[in-house]
Amino acid sequence: MTEKKRKPNAAFMKPMNPDAALGEVVGNEPLPRTEVTKKLWAYIKENNLQEPSNKRMINADDKLLAIFDGKKQVSMFEMTKLVSNHLS
């Protein structure tokens, strides 16, 4: 039985433009969603914004508050939904 190699979803690879709030964290260049997520996680880890008792929760600093619709804490799943509102 031969395995089919999975193709990356073209929608994820298409460069998207971050708005001003998201640009503060990931930069203002058009990026694919996968890169936006990578840069966001790098920022979260660099600034120790994961909840120590539950690593799936992200605590917002001033920059992330703007992206997270003013919520002080979101789950990593909610974060991806909120971030997509800041991409065009």
| CATH number among 1.20.1730.10, 1.20.1530.20, 3.40.50.10860, 1.10.245.10, domain 36-88 | 1.10.245.10
Summarize pLDDT for 40-76 with one digit per residue, the tens.
999 999 999 999 999 999 999 999 999 999 999 999 9
Residue spans per domain, the chain: 36-88
Q: Which of 14, 16, 13, 40 is nearest to 26 (CA)?
A: 40
Summarize pLDDT for 7-37 with one digit per residue, the tens.
666 766 889 999 999 999 999 999 999 999 9
* Model confidence, pTM: 0.84
**Burial class of 19 by CB neighbour count within 10 A (0 to 12, 13 to 18, 19+):** middle
Q: Tokens for 61, please give them.
A: 């600093």
